[in-house]
Each structure stands twice: as structure tokens, then as C-alpha cells.
């Protein structure tokens, strides 16, 4: 089956949308809209794998949507929607719950990190999260998935699920008229550039994260100019000057992180940054980074605030996106049911 190139990715509406989400994912979405049919999803069903306050969840769904648009995603060109408005995500996730193996999910490092020592108390949804993610992508036969480095393992699982489904139902797939048996495509992760894993500003060994208790660990997309500059000024560093070569960042996670952020914001390589700043102290580099971050991030935050003033318009965009998403997903879900043997 010839699969048309199609991009899918999602962001959880769990608050504190940060520079890692922006550089690792959203900027890639913006680039891809020029060349591909793209679906960008506010994955609210993923968010509730950890308890969310209902009023805050509603606000956060609108905030992620506003961030998409403020970052330059065109809702006419792309399909922007929230997951729970397209029931196929839940339907296909159930099918994949029955395809994926417990052993596969037991190997997922994100579950181990998020459940921590209290695995017995984690929701079943948090455990089966990667199956829902596979459903998100494969419901649209998406072929390319721009994500940060932390999602690589989940993407590999999605590929395994696609392959196992195609093998388990090989005869039924052929009987449904798909001669080559490739009903679900193997989605490819797109993890590129200098900021695929932005680290905490307080600890270079931990990724920048929405759930870090320290607000100083992350730059959020709605931080004002002073806050962005202050967070960069206070970011943890070491006492050495910056090296002139990328190899010199080895064993210096905080320095590597700030150089990576600078490179991603500027649209150049880490080596380009070191060619400019090699030998400079952080007292010189940090103000330059702060200036660049303020220049790039604060207009997005301002635009988000403007968009958020009209929640009805955001809800319209999401409803319209869901209608268009269903146009693609419904025939694929119907075919999936036919292949499995469900009567429709
Ligand atoms: N630190 C990061 N660096 C680069 N990319 C990142 N992403 C997340 N953190 C970083 C990418 O952002 C997209 C949306 O992420 P998500 O909403 O699914 O959240 P997450 O991956 O669970 O990470 P968060 O935002 O830090 O939340 P918590 O605190 O809950 O873990 C994805 O493409 C992700 O790779």
C-alpha cells in the first residue's frame, strides 16, 4: 500500500509549555508545514494519564493551541485539533492494547521515570500511554513524526505495533484488498538539530520538563522578558570558558545545553556558536543568549496572550480541525475494523 507522506505530532496540555517543547517539537512543526500535510494534536487524553484539574485542563488545551498558532502554524494549512474530539484515537488505542505485549511496555523508560517508586499507584493509562501514542500516529497512516529525543523509544514501539498488526492480520489485510500487506506504515521519527533534548537550567543531567517543581529550571513560553533574562543569568554553569570545538563540551552538560539552545534559537550549528564564542566566559555568553531568547520567545508569549483573549475562536479552530481529522481517520478506522473482523 503506497502511503502518502503525512506528518503527525502532539503536545500534552499539562501546563508550563517550555523552551524544550518549542525547540524540540514546535519549531519543527512550523518548518514541516511548508512541505507536508500535517496534523498537530493537543493530546488531552495523554494529559489525563496523570490527574488534571478540569478547569486547568481546559485552559491548558487552549494554551497549547495558542502556542501552535503564535509560533507560526497556520490552522488553514494544517489540521490543528484536540485528541478527545476524534473518537478514533481511543478506538484504535484499544486495538493496540491487544496487539502490544506487556513485555514491550515494561521496557518503556518514561513510564519508569514518571511512575517512580510508586508504580503500583500509577494509572493504567500511564502504563499504556505508548499504545495510545501509536494510535494517534497510525490512525492517520502518518509517515513522519517530529518529536524530541525523549519520545524516540515510544516511536520505536509504534513501529513495532504497526509491524505486528500487519503480520498478525496478514491474510485479512490481503483479503481487504491490500496486496502488499502493509496496511499500517512504519512511522519515522524526525529528531534533528542542536536542541532535541533541552536540559534543565538548574541541572544539566535532567531534561527541561513541565513537571519540574522548580520554575527556574525552564523557560516557559509565556515568561516575560525580565523573567527569561533572569532565568538565563541564573542558569547553572561551570567556571571554565567556552571551548572552541564541540568536543570540548564533553563532560560539561550545562555548557553544552546553553550552547545547544543558542544554536537552535539562532538556526545554526553548535560549532558555529563555538566559533563565535570559543574562549569567552559565561559572563559574556549568557547576556548574548538572554538577548536572543528574549528576542525569539517573548513575542510568541505576547501573541499567545492575545490569542487567548478569544477562547471561542480557539474552540472553533479545534472543532474545525477535528472535523478535518475525522475525514482522514474514519476510513482508516473502518478498514481496521474490517480487517480485525468486526461487523460494521
Ligand atoms: N526537554 C526537551 N527537549 C526537547 N524536546 C522536548 N520535548 C519535551 N521535553 C523536551 C518534546 O516536546 C513535545 C511535547 O512534549 P509532551 O507535551 O508530550 O511532554 P513530555 O515529553 O512528557 O515532556 P514535558 O513537556 O517535559 O512534560 P513532563 O514534565 O510531563 O515530562 C514532544 O515531542 C517531546 O519530545
Is residue 246 within 8 A of residue 270, CB to CB? The reply is yes
> Domain for residue 253, yes or no?
yes
Distances (CA, A) of 14 to 59, 61, 170, 235: 10, 8, 39, 24
The alpha carbons of the chain give a radius of gyration, in whole angstroms, of: 21
Is 211's C-beta closer than 6 angstroms to any atom of ligand 1?
yes
- Ligand 1 center from residue 154 Cα (angstroms): 12
Report residue 299 CA to chain centroid gap.
21
Q: Is residue 302 part of a domain?
A: yes
Predicted local distance difference test score (pLDDT) of residue 1: 85
For the CA atoms of 139, 142, 144, 147, what is the dihedral angle to 10 degrees?
-20
Q: Is the model's pLDDT at 227 over the cut of 90?
A: yes
What is the spatial distance between Cα 77 and Cα 105, in angstroms, rounded to a whole number? 35
> What is the structure's pLDDT at 176?
96
Ligand 1 within 6 A of CB of 209? yes
* CATH number (domain holding residue 276): 1.10.240.10
Q: Is the pLDDT of residue 210 over 90?
A: yes
Percent above pLDDT 70 for the chain: 100
DSSP calls for 284-299: HHHHHHHHHHHHHHHH
* Ligand 1 lined by 12 (C-beta under 6 Å): yes
Which helix (H) or strand (E) segment is 256 a member of? Answer: helix 253-266
The predicted pLDDT at position 118 comes to 86
What does pLDDT average to over the chain?
A: 97
Q: Which one is predicted more confidently, 284 or 116?
A: 284
Which residues, 6 or more positions from 62, have their beta carbon under 8 angstroms from its beta carbon?
A: 308, 311, 314, 315
Would you call 67 helix, strand, or coil by DSSP? helix
| 135 neighbors 89 (Cβ within 8 angstroms) | yes
CA distance 190 to 164: 22
Alpha-carbon gap, residue 210 to 222, rounded angstroms = 13
Is the confidence at residue 26, as pLDDT, over 90?
Answer: yes
pLDDT value at position 66?
Answer: 98
Tell me the average pLDDT across 205-209: 96
200 lines ligand 1 (CB under 6 A): no
Q: Is 276 part of any domain? A: yes
SS3 content of the chain, % helix, strand, coil (to 5): 60, 10, 35
Report the C-alpha gap between 141 and 161 in whole angstroms. Answer: 13
- Give the tens place of pLDDT for each residue, 126-177: 999 999 999 999 999 999 999 999 999 999 999 999 999 999 999 999 999 9
Q: Is the CB of 151 under 6 A from ligand 1?
A: yes
**Please, which pLDDT band fits residue 274 given cuts at 50, 70 and 90?**
very high
Query: In angstroms, rounded to a whole number, what is the distance separating the alpha carbons of residues 273 and 169?
Result: 51
pLDDT, tens digit, for every residue of 75-113? 999 999 999 999 999 999 999 999 999 999 999 999 999
Distance 256 CA to ligand 1 centre (A): 19
Give Dmax over CA atoms of the chain in angstroms: 69
- Is 258 within a domain? yes
**Which atom of ligand 1 is nearest to 18's Cα?**
25
User: Is 290 within the bounds of a domain?
Assistant: yes
Q: Is 20 in the pocket of ligand 1 (CB under 6 A)?
A: yes
Using CA atoms, how far apart are residues 325 and 293, in angstroms rounded to an integer? 34
Cα 7 to ligand 1 centre (Å): 18
In a domain, residue 294? The reply is yes
Nearest-CA residue for ligand 1 atom 2 is 20
* Residue of 152, 164, 174, 210 with catalytic role: 210
Nearest CA to ligand 1 atom 23: 209
Secondary structure (3-state) at 11: strand
Number of domains in the chain: 1
In terms of residue numbers, what domain contains 237?
215-306
| Per-residue model confidence (pLDDT) at position 116 | 87
Sign of CA dihedral 198, 201, 203, 209: negative
Quick one: pLDDT at residue 117?
83
Tens digits of residue pLDDT in 305-334: 999 999 999 999 999 999 999 999 999 999
Give the ligand 1 atom nearest the CA of 64: 17
Structure-block grid coordinates of residue 51: 490527574
Q: Does pLDDT of 178 surpass 90? A: yes
CA atoms within 13 Å, Cβ hemisphere of 169: 26
210 catalytically annotated:
yes
C-alpha 132 to ligand 1 mean position (Å): 16
- Residue 244 is assigned to a structural domain of this protein: yes
Q: Is any ligand 1 atom within 6 A of the Cβ of residue 198? A: yes
Query: Does residue 47 line the site of ligand 1, with CB under 6 A?
Result: no
Mutational test site, ligand 1, from 14, 15, 20, 199, max ligand atoms within 8 Å of CB: 20
Cα angle at 48 between 43 and 54, to 5 degrees?
100
Task: Provide the angle, in degrees to the nearest 10, between the axes of the packed helices 282-308 and 253-266.
Answer: 50
**Residue 300 forms part of a structural domain:** yes
Distance CA 249, CA 235 (A): 16
Cell 518514561 sits at which residue?
A: 110
Amino acid at each position: 500500500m503506497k502511503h502518502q507522506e503525512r506528518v503527525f505530532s502532539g503536545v500534552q496540555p499539562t501546563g508550563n509549555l517550555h523552551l524544550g517543547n518549542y525547540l524540540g517539537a514546535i519549531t519543527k512543526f512550523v518548518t514541516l508545514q511548508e512541505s507536508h500535510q500535517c496534523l498537530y494534536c493537543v493530546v488531552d487524553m495523554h494529559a489525563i494519564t496523570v490527574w488534571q484539574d478540569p478547569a486547568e485542563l481546559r485552559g491548558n488545551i487552549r494554551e497549547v493551541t495558542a502556542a501552535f498558532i503564535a509560533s507560526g502554524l497556520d490552522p488553514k494549512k494544517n489540521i490543528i485539533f484536540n485528541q478527545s474530539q476524534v473518537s478514533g484515537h481511543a478506538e484504535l488505542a484499544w486495538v493496540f492494547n491487544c496487539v502490544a505485549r506487556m513485555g514491550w511496555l515494561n521496557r518503556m523508560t518514561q513510564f519508569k521515570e514518571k511512575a517512580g517508586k510508586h508504580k503500583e499507584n500509577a494509572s493504567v493509562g500511564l502504563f499504556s500511554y505508548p499504545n495510545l501514542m501509536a494510535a494517534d500516529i497510525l490512525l492517520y497512516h502518518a509517515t513522519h513524526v517530529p518529536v524530541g529525543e525523549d519520545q524516540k523509544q515510544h516511536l520505536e514501539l509504534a513501529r513495532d505495533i504497526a509491524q505486528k498488526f500487519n503480520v498478525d492480520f496478514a491474510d485479512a489485510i490481503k483479503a481487504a484488498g491490500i496486496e502488499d500487506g502493509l496496511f499500517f506504515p512504519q512511522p519515522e521519527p524526525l529528531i534533528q538539530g542542536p536542541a532535541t533534548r533541552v536540559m534543565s537550567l538548574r541541572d544539566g543531567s535532567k531534561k527541561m520538563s513541565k513537571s519540574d517543581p522548580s520554575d527556574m529550571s525552564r523557560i516557559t513560553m509565556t515568561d516575560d522578558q525580565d523573567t527569561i533574562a533572569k532565568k538565563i543569568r541564573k542558569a547553572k554553569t561551570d567556571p571554565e570558558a567556552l571551548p572552541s570545538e564541540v568536543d570540548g563540551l564533553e563532560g560539561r552538560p550545562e555548557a553544552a545545553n546553553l550552547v545547544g539552545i543558542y544554536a537552535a534559537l539562532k538556526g545554526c550549528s553548535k560549532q558555529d556558536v563555538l566559533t563565535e564564542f570559543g574562549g569567552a566566559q559565561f559572563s559574556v555568553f549568557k547576556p548574548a543568549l538572554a538577548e536572543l531568547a528574549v528576542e525569539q520567545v517573548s513575542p510568541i508569549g505576547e501573541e499567545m496572550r492575545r490569542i487567548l483573549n478569544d477562547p471561542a475562536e480557539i474552540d472553533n479552530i479545534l472543532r474545525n480541525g477535528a472535523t478535518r481529522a475525522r475525514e482522514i481517520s474514519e476510513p482508516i478506522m473502518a478498514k481496521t475494523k474490517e480487517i480485525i473482523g468486526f461487523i460494521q
